[in-house]
Structure 1
Amino acid sequence: MSDAELGGDIEIAIKDEIKDYSGYMLMPGDPDRISVMAGQWENAKEFPQNRGYRAALGVYQGAKISALTSGIGAPSLEYKMTEAAELGAHTIIRVGSTGAIQEGIENGDLIINDACIRLDGMTPLYVRPEFPAAASYEVTMALIEAAETFGYRYHVGTGCTSASFFAGQGRTSFGGFKLSSTDAFFDDIRRLGVLNFEMEAAALLTLARLFKIRAGIVASVIAQRLTGKWDDAGGEERACRVGAEALRILTGWDQKKKKAGKLYYFPTI
C-alpha cells in the first residue's frame, strides 16, 4: 500500500470517528507528545499520518477527546488546523513548549497565553496587521481552572509567536551571526510584558477566529532565556494533563449552556 493510500485510510478513520468525539481537540507540535497524551487517557488509539504527523482519539475522565499534531511553525499549523476544522473540530487547545523571557517563571512552569504578538509570518496573508491573535475566553478560563485543579505553577499573559527559532527570538545563529538590532528587539519584547516566545500560537488563535472555533494555548517552559537553563522539569506531562482536563471542563460547560439555552458560558450559569 502506498503512503498516499495509507494516509487516506487514516484520514477517513479519523473523520468517521471524530464526529463521535464532538471535535474537542488538543494540538501539540511534537508528534512524540501524542503518546504522552494518549498515556493519560482511556481507550486511546493512535494514528500515524504522512510526513510524520500523528493523531489520537480516546476518553479522558468520561469526556471524549482527540489530538492532532501541527508540526513546527505557522505554515505547518495552518495546514493541519484547516484539516482539523474540516474534520469537525470546534475546540482546539495547543499544548506546546516555550521559552520564558520574564523573571519569576521557572523551567517546568506552564504558560497560558490569552493573546499573542503575530510575528509568525503566515497570518498577515489572512488579516490586517491590526487584527488581534486572542484566545477564547472560555478556553482560557478552562485552562486556568485545570491548572488550579492540579496545583500546578502557571502564568497567564501575552506571548510572542515568531517565524524564526533564532533571529526572530533574539538568539545568535550559526557562526555567531546576529544583527545589531537583535538584542534591542529582545529587550523591547520583555519591556512589553510578554511572557514567552514560541512558534505556533498566534497562527492558531488567528485562524480560530476566522474559522469561528474556540482555541487556546498551554505551554510548558523548557527554556528560561534569562538564565540560559534548558530543562523540561516534567512540564510536558503537566501541560498535556491540563489540556485534557480543560477539554473535560469545556465539555461540561457546553452541556450547561445547551441546557440553559445560552451561547456563552458565565460563572453563574
Structure 2
Amino acid sequence: MAHTLFNDEYKYHIKVKQGDVGRYVLLPGDPGRCEVIARWFDNPVKVAQNREYVTYTGTLLGEKVSVTSTGIGGPSTAIAVEELAMVGAETFIRVGTSGAMQPAIGVGDLAIVTAAIRDEGTTRQYMPIEFPAVADIDVTLALRAAAEKLGLTFHLGVSQSKDSFYGEVEPDRQPLAEELNARRRAWIAGGAVCSEMEAATVFVVSSILHKRAGGVMLIVNNQFAEGGHESHHPILDRLISTGIEAIKLLIEEDRVVRR
C-alpha cells in the first residue's frame, strides 16, 4: 500500500492538487522567476507556495499551463516532477541558466539540451548509470523551432548535470581538484555545450514516469571568454519566450494528434 502522503489531496511538498496545474509545465529553478514567467500566460493565478516550490497556472492558446520552481539540484527537482505528474502534468520543459562549455558559445546564447551527463547522485536512485538521460524528441524539436522562429542564437547538445556548483566553478580549491578538472576536460572534449544542475533529473524521472521532457538553458557565463559573465536579467526574455513558444507549438501539435 502506498504511503498516505501520496494519497493526500494536496501533494506533500509542492502543495497542489488535481486540477491546479496544466498538462504543460515550465520548470525554472528559482522561485522568484515563476511570477516573471507567469506574466507570459493568459490569466495567470498563483496556486501554491511551499519551501522552494512556487506554482502559477494560466492558459496559452486556451490550454491550461503552469510554471513550478524546482529549487537547486536533483533532489528537489525530482520531487517537483514526481508530484506534478501525480496531479496531471505530462510535459515538462526545464528553463534555466547555465555556463558554457565550448569557446564558441556566447553569453546570452541558448543551449537546447538533447541529453544530459548524469554527473549527479539523484538519478542513480532511479536507474542504473547505464540508463541515458535523454530529452523527448518532440519537446526538443519544439524548442528548436521556437528559437528559430524567434531568431535567437542557440546550440543543440549535451549538458553536464552536476551536484556541486563550487566543485565546477572553483575546482582548484577542492580536495578532488585533479579529478574534477580531468572530468571537466573530458566533458568539453566530448562536445558538451553547457553545465547546470537539473536536466538529468528532469529527463530520467520523466522517462520512468512515461512523461515528455526537454530543456533550454540561457548561457550566463563562459569561462573561455574574458570577463566571462553577464547579468542574465536583461536577456532572460530569450529563455522565457523560447519556452513559451515551444509550449504553444506542442499544444498545436497535440491538438492535431488528438483529432
* Whole-Å separation in 1 of the counterparts to 2:192 and 2:95: 19
Q: Helix, strand or coil: the match of 2:70?
A: coil
Paired residues of 2:25 and 2:89 also in contact (CA < 8 A): yes
Aligned to 2:15: 11
Matched with 2:120 is 120
Which residue is 1:138 aligned to?
Answer: 138
Paired positions, count: 246
- For the aligned residues, what is the CA RMSD? 2.0
Measure, in 2, the Cα distance between the counterparts of 1:87 and 1:242.
Answer: 25
Aligned residues of 2:19 and 2:88 also touching (Cα < 8 A): no
Residue 170 of structure 1, CA deviation:
5.5
Q: Which runs of 5+ in 1 are unaligned?
A: 1-5, 260-269
Q: 1:213 aligns with which of 211, 215, 219?
A: 211
Please name the residue that 1:38 is paired with. Answer: 38
TM-score of the superposed pair, with normalisation by structure 2: 0.89
Q: Secondary structure at the match of 2:165?
A: coil
1:163 alignment partner in structure 2: 163
Looking at structure 1, the residues matched to 11 and 186 of structure 2 have their Cα atoms a distance apart, in angstroms, of 44
Residues of 2 paired with 1:136 and 1:235: CA distance? 26
Contact 1:60/1:245 (8 A) holds in 2 = no
Question: Mapping of 1:253-268 within 5 angstroms?
Answer: 253-259=253-259
Alignment-derived partner of residue 90 in structure 1:
90
1:229 aligns with 2:228: yes
Which of structure 1's runs of 4+ aligned residues deviate more than 6 A? none
- Structure 1 window deviating more from structure 2 (216-225 vs 46-55): it is 46-55
CA contact (8 A) 1:110 1:153 kept: yes
Question: 8 Å contact 1:107–1:233 — kept in the other structure?
Answer: no
The share of aligned pairs that are identical, in percent, is 33
- 1:216-263 per-position Cα deviation (integer Å, ceiling 9, x unaligned): 00110111122251212633221111111111111111111122xxxx
Q: CA deviation at 1:61?
A: 4.4
* Amino acid across the alignment from 2:124: P
Query: Structure 2 vs 1, CA of residues 62 and 151 (structure 1 numbering), >3 Å: closer, same or farther?
Result: farther
2: CA distance between counterparts of 1:190 and 1:101? 6
Aligned AA for 2:251? T
Task: Name 1:153's counterpart in structure 2.
Answer: 153
Corresponding position of 2:245? 245
Output the CA distance in 1 between the equivalents of 2:205 and 2:72.
16
* Residues 146 and 242, structure 1, Cα contact 8 Å, conserved in 2: yes
Normalised TM-score (structure 1) = 0.85
Instruction: Provide the rounded CA distance (Å) in 2 between the counterparts of 1:211 and 1:217.
Output: 17
- Aligned pairs for 1:50-61 (under 5 A) are 50-61=50-61
Match of 2:178, SS? coil
Between the aligned partners of 1:7 and 1:83, the Cα distance in structure 2 is 6
CA distance in 1, matches of 2:257, 2:158: 28
- In 1, distance between residues paired with 2:31 and 2:204? 23
Task: Provide, for residues 170-225 of structure 1, a one-character-per-residue CA deviation record: whole Å limited to 9, x for no partner.
Answer: 6237xx33522332222111000001110000000001110000000011011112
- Give the structure 2 partner of residue 177 of structure 1: 174
Structure 2 counterpart of 1:84, one-letter code:
L
Q: Which amino acid aligns with 1:11?
A: K
- For 1:193 and 1:102, the matched residues in 2 are separated by 7
Measure, in 2, the Cα distance between the counterparts of 1:218 and 1:189.
19
